[in-house]
Structure 1
C-alpha cells in the first residue's frame, strides 16, 4: 500500500477517536468508539484459551474494524439504532472499502460480510464481545450516568449473543451479579 493511501485510511479511522459513544468511562468522560473497539479486541486476545477451535486472529481483526463505518455516521446507541441506520453505516463502510488497495479491500469486505451474517464461530464471538464490552463499560461507569432503561438493559443486552458458549454465559452471569451489586449499592446510598 502506498504511503498516501495508508495515511488517508488512518485519517478516516481517526474519527473513531473523536466520535463518542453513549457510554461513560470510570473517570467520568464519554468513551470514544476507538476505545470501545480496542477493548473488544483486547477481550478477544484474552480469550484465546477459551476458544482454541476459533481463528482468534480473525476475531481480533473483526473487533478492530467492526465500528469503522461509524467514522462516517457516528455512534447511535443500540437502543436507538434502527435497521436503516445499520444499512447506512454498512453502505458507507463498503463504499470506503472500495477505495482500499488489494488485498485489504477484499479482506475487510469478507470480514464485514461474515460479521453481518453471524454464522461462523468467529463472527458470533466478535458480536458477543461487542455487546459484553458495552455492559462491562456501563458497569464501570458511575451509575449516575445510567439512563432509566439501562437498569434493565444491563441484564438483557448481549444475553442472546452468549448462548453458544458456556464460558460466555458464565461471564454474563458474573456481569449480572456485578450489576445487581452496583444497583443495590446505589439504592442504599
Structure 2
C-alpha cells in the first residue's frame, strides 16, 4: 500500500468522527460512532487476561472496523434498523473494501466474514462488547436522554449474546444492576 492509498482509507474512516450515534455522553453531548468504536476496542484490550484462550488482538481489530459501514449510511439504532438498511450499508462497505489495496481488502474481508458468521469466540466477544458498550453508555448518560423503549430494552438487551461466556454474563448482570439503580433514582 502506498502513502496515498493509506491516506484515502483514513479520510473515509474520519467520517465516523462526525457520525452521531443514538447515545449521549455523561455531559449530554451526542456521542460519535468513532468514540463508540474506540471504547469497545479498549474494552477488548482490557480483557486479554480474562480470555487467554482467544486472539484478543483480533477482537480489537474487529472492534476497530465493525462500524465502518456507517461512514456511508450513518448510525441507525439497532431497534429501528431494517434488513434493507443493513443491505445498503453492507453493499457500500463491500464496494469500499474492494477498492482498497489487495492485502488490506483481504484482511477486512476475512474479519467481516468471521464477524458475520459469529462462530468463533473472537467474533462472539466482539459482538458482546458492541452491545454491552451501548448499555454502559446509556447508564452513563442522563436518564431523560433515553428513548421510551430503552427503559425495557436496557433490562433485556444482549443477555442472549453474552450467554456463551460466564464472565460476560457476569458483566451484563452488573450493567443491569446499574441500569436498575439509574431508573429507580430517576437520574
The answer to whether TM tops 0.5 is yes
Match of 1:58 in 2: 58
Q: Distance in 2 between matches of 1:152 and 1:118?
A: 26
Match of 1:30 in 2: 30
Matched, 1:153 2:153: yes
**Structure 2: gaps (5+ residues):** none
RMSD: 0.9
Match of 2:73 in 1: 73
SS of the residue 1:59 aligns to: helix
Question: Number of matched residues?
Answer: 187
Q: Structure 1 residues 93-102 or 130-139, which shifts more? A: 93-102
Shift of 1:102: 2.5
Q: Distance in 1 between matches of 2:148 and 2:47?
A: 32
User: Matches of residues 1-189 of structure 1 in structure 2 within 5 Å?
Assistant: 1-186=1-186
Q: Distance in 2 between matches of 1:96 and 1:156?
A: 35
**Structure 1: gaps (5+ residues):** none
Q: Distance in 2 between matches of 1:164 and 1:15?
A: 34
SS of the residue 2:22 aligns to: strand
Shift of 1:28: 0.8
Stretches of 4+ aligned residues off by more than 4 angstroms:
none
Q: Distance in 2 between matches of 1:99 and 1:136?
A: 35
Q: Distance in 1 between matches of 2:128 and 2:48?
A: 15
Q: Distance in 1 between matches of 2:154 and 2:70?
A: 23
